[in-house]
Amino acid sequence: MASALNRRVHAWLAGNPDESILRWVFRSVLVVTVAVLAADLLELNAPRVPSDAAPPQLDIRREAPDLPAESPSLLAPLMKRLMPLPQGDRALQQPIQFELRGGGRLVATGTITPGSARSFADAVERHGEYIRTIVLNSPGGSVADALAMGRLIRARKFATEVEAGKYCASSCPLVFAGGLERRAGERAIIGVHQIAAVPTSGTAVRSGDDMSLAQNISARCQRHLAEMGIDLKVWVHAMETPHDQLFTFKPDEMKTLNLVTSLPESRPEKSRS
């Protein structure tokens, strides 16, 4: 059939002056036709895949790194440890007050406000020869005053204590850290959280300076804890904890981080009949 078609075309071309151009067109058409026929033959001979067959899957298990069977969030343990800020009684909400009691114990109860360090220094000046231990029950407050109180405690070589069931939080642990000996009673709450950049009285803080001020205060707190011999992981817990929450230390953590130098002896459980 192809040869007959070829002869007819040659006969037709013999009577045309543009034979060379037409010959080239014919050959191009012929090449395209052969290519299309070859493609159809390949498709007909290709193996059929059922339409409902699933496409081949890549085994990515060999490419993925080996991971532990369980990968809990790094923040999960922290979130389980946080607690809302305890609501103190009215005495804790008032500016901190100092009362000398028997056994050389100066009891400090209330919120640390700007000027509390000065009041504390006055109390030490009046009763310094009798004081042996500073007993704290405070929700914290002014960081600058807490640092000054802690340094004075260390300079006078006083001990510090949080009595059983009492409370020392926020900036209060900076005062507690000043004790040459540091004691915490059973169920005493000692906790930390992030600091807030609060301006001193009469000084306005521009929003652009907030971060710089907070970082400066944070550095002062870290230096203070290091000088008092406290493990700086205490401050890591503070910086990880939102300001409206509280990270409280377990008794064994207080000892491991050197936040306390001694803990009360655990009471033996009564035998059950």
pLDDT on residue 179: 98
- The stretch 198-204 carries a mean pLDDT of 49
pLDDT on residue 118: 98
List residues bridging with 95 in a β-sheet.
111
Chain mean pLDDT for the chain: 78
**Whether pLDDT at 93 is above 70:** yes
pLDDT digits (tens, 9 = 90+) for 70-90: 444 444 455 556 766 666 577
Lowest mean pLDDT among 70-84, 200-214, 252-266: 70-84
pLDDT on residue 208: 57
Q: Which domains does the chain have, with CATH numbers?
A: 87-197+206-256 (3.90.226.10)
Q: What is the 3-state secondary structure (H, E, C) of the chain?
A: CHHHHHHHHHHHHHCCCCHHHHHHHHHHHHHHHHHHHHHHHHHHHCCCCCCCCCCCCCCHHHCCCCCCCCCCCCCHHHHHHEEECCCCCHHHHCECEEEEECCCEEEEECEECCCHHHHHHHHHHHHCCCCCEEEEEECCECHHHHHHHHHHHHHHCCEEEECCCCEEECCHHHHHCCCCCEEECCCCEEEECCCCCCCCCCCCCCHHHHHHHHHHHHHHHHHHHHHCCCCCHHHHHHHHCCCCEEEECCHHHHHHCCCCCECCCCCCCCCCC
Alpha-carbon Rg for the chain in angstroms = 41
What is the Cα–Cα distance from 198 to 141, expressed in whole angstroms?
10
**Whether pLDDT at 24 is above 80:** no
pLDDT on residue 212: 84
- The stretch 159-169 carries a mean pLDDT of 96
For residue 233, what pLDDT band results from cuts at 50, 70 and 90?
A: very high
